[in-house]
Amino acid sequence: MSIKKLLYKSITGRPLRSFALLFICVLMSGVVFGGAVLSASMKNGMNSLEHRFGADIIVVPKSAKGQVELENMLLQGTPGYFYMDKSVNGALEKINGVEKLSAQYFLVSANSECCSAKVQIIGFDDDTDFSVKPWLSEAYSEKLGLNELIVGSGISAQVGHSLKFYGVECKTVGKLESTGTGIDTAVYASAETVKGLIKAAGSKGISVLSKQSPDDVISSVYIKVQDGYDIDEVTADINLGIDGVQAVRTKSMITATADRLSVFSSSITVLISAVYILSAVIMLIVFTAFVNERKGEFALLRVIGFSRFMLGRQVMSEASVICVVGALIGISAASVIVFPFASLIEKKAALPMLSPDLISVVGYALLAFAAVAVTGPLASAYSAYRLSRIDTGRIFREGDR
Amino acid sequence: MKRLVLGIVQGIAALLLTIGAFTFFKACGDMDGKFMACHWAQNAAVLIGIVLSVLALIRIFIPDEGIKTGLSIAVFVLSVSAAFVPNTVINLCMMKDMACHTTFKPAVIVVSAVLALAALADIIVGAVRKKETK
């Protein structure tokens, strides 16, 4: 019997023990890889959210609903709309420290003909916009024409496809890159297009929208503060100086999300550490017990010519084979859960998530593989050392088989 | 024994595809009595799932090794086609945060992939055995 065949027989000859060890390795690698990818996705989502705003302050109508709806819209993609008088724009221009400002108009489509859900339509001013344009220009550099749309990455329409809202056929001219935030499921249009949609909604009997024309109202104003001015002071000036509006510092808006993300991230780290340490301890116990149990077998191998080194190598090889197979299965199983169901996890966690790039994913896979493939043989090293000191004669005399 | 295990895996995965597609990983429901495109993708997945279940069950009980391999080839081809039903053959809803995109599509793809792998393994085992008996 060759060494390889002995190794194979040794693993398959004790199916329950081998399966239990394999299960531990699968769990260990799956948790390490899946946890690392999820944690990185959350961090990417948060970074994307911070960059995506582009503005220092967002001004919304003064109501509890305004800020909550804006947060839900931006973070979770829940369609919402709220309005304030357009004159706010002029008043904001007079506030000291305001460098740039741009108004947006939110509209929610009725269940569109393509889809059973409402779609967030954001009308923005192409000339003044600074918070959306940098992202839009990645996809489309021209000025948006009438009935032209740029869609978020979460909308399955491709460039050139048409989408119908209130019976108006709109052409998709650009698609944004994924940000992992709620605005991935929004569509962007010019104010003219939004006016056309409101008119079309009126002709379909949805007259409530006609009272909220972009000519008279706006939904939010994005503000960039001049260098040298304190953002908190400008925010306070707006809140004190202009009635009916609420200025929110974008950083404070995402603080709650960042805190939740931190809790999730810490929980994942704790889980990874706990599973890793527990698995390593179990492996150490199993290998120690298994060497005691197989003392007679190893003594026999010594008698037929196995050196101490060969016995030690045999034990470590068994551990390596089980750990390598377990790590591969664990990483594959975690990939099957983490990647295809990423949107579902994002939805349930209600956190912005953006999958890491391929190179990072390969890095995490290698890390998880190495963590398991090294821990198993290390856990068996002590048993291998004990085997190398085995007293064959004594074992046979004691009949310890 | 190997072929029996692979046959049972195929049967379980096919039944999971059939039952899951209209229960725990179903597509979006109706909106005011109106069904969206994803509903028809769901129906197609269920139909393919039923055919796969019948083939997988026949494959378990038929003793002839050659017919087993033939049925596994059919299961492999059909399960690969099932993976392409959501959003490739039949469109799903427009927004990617909807149930048809977040649950139905990935679940159909994962279950179909498991089924295809089990069928492929069975085809290989069948081919190796046939070669050995010659």
pLDDT for residue B37: 81
Cβ-nearest to A154 among B32, B96, B105:
B96
* A and B: number of Cβ contacts within 8 A: 70
Q: What is the pLDDT of residue A401?
A: 45
Rounded Cα distance between A45 and A352, Å, is 5
**CA dihedral angle for residue A163, residue B41, residue B82, residue A155, rounded to 10 degrees:** 30
The answer to whether B31 contacts A347, with C-beta atoms less than 8 Å apart, is no
Closest to A211 measured CA to CA, from A85, A121, A109, A88: A85
Taking contacts as CB-CB distances below 8 angstroms, the residues of chain B near A162 are none
Q: What is the largest CA-CA distance in chain A?
A: 100
Cβ A122 vs Cβ A109: under 8 Å: no
Residue B83, pLDDT score: 94
B58: distance to nearest CA of chain A, Å? 29
Cβ–Cβ below 8 Å for B97 and A114: no
Given an 8 Å threshold on Cβ–Cβ distance, is B106 in contact with A341?
Answer: yes
Q: Which residues of chain B lie closer than 8 angstroms to A72, CB-CB? A: none
Write out residues 126-185 of A within 8 Å (CB-CB) of B.
153-157, 163, 184-185
Q: Which residue has the higher pLDDT, A218 or B45?
A: B45
Q: Measuring CA to CA, which residue among A214, A255, A211 is closest to residue A67?
A: A255
Please tell me which residue of chain A has the smallest CA distance to B114: A336
Position A35 scores a pLDDT of 92
Judged by CB atoms closer than 8 Å, whether chains meet at A344 and B96 is answered as no
Chain A: nearest CA to B30, how far in angstroms?
8
Instruction: Find the mean pLDDT for residues B91-106.
Output: 88
> DSSP string of A38-90?
HHHHHHHHHHHHHHHH--SEEEEESSHHHHHHHHIIIII-------EETHHHH
What is the reported pLDDT for B2? Answer: 78
Provide the pLDDT for residue B70: 93
Q: Decide if A98 contacts A76 (C-beta within 8 A).
A: no
Task: Please tell me which of A340-344, A349-353, B104-108, B124-128 the model is most confident about, judged by mean pLDDT.
Answer: B104-108
pLDDT at B101 over 60: yes
Question: What's the pLDDT score for residue A307?
Answer: 78
Q: Do B98 and A115 touch (CB under 8 A)?
A: yes
* C-beta separation of A237 from A18 below 8 A: no
Report CB contact under 8 Å: B95, A112. no
Q: Is A108 exposed, middle or buried (0-12, 13-18, 19+ CB in 10 A)?
A: middle
pLDDT at B45 over 90: yes
Tell me if A343 and B34 make a contact (CB, 8 A cut-off): no
- Nearest residue, CB atoms, B94 vs list A157, A184, A336: A157
A154 in Cβ contact with B97 (< 8 Å): yes
Q: Which pLDDT score is estimated for B108? A: 96
* CB-based contact A114 B93, cutoff 8 Å: yes
Domain boundaries, chain A: 3-47+258-398, 63-243
Task: Return averaged pLDDT per consecutive 10 residues of chain A, 401 residues in all.
Answer: 74 82 90 92 82 80 70 71 84 88 82 62 83 61 80 82 83 80 82 84 67 79 88 90 86 76 86 88 82 76 78 82 92 92 84 86 93 85 74 66 45
Q: Give the pairing type, strands A245-249 and A220-225.
A: unpaired
- Report chain A residues whose CB lies below 8 A from the CB of B30: 116
* Residues 318-337 (A) with a CB less than 8 A from some CB of B: 336
Using a CB-CB cut-off of 8 Å, the residues of chain A touching B26 are: none
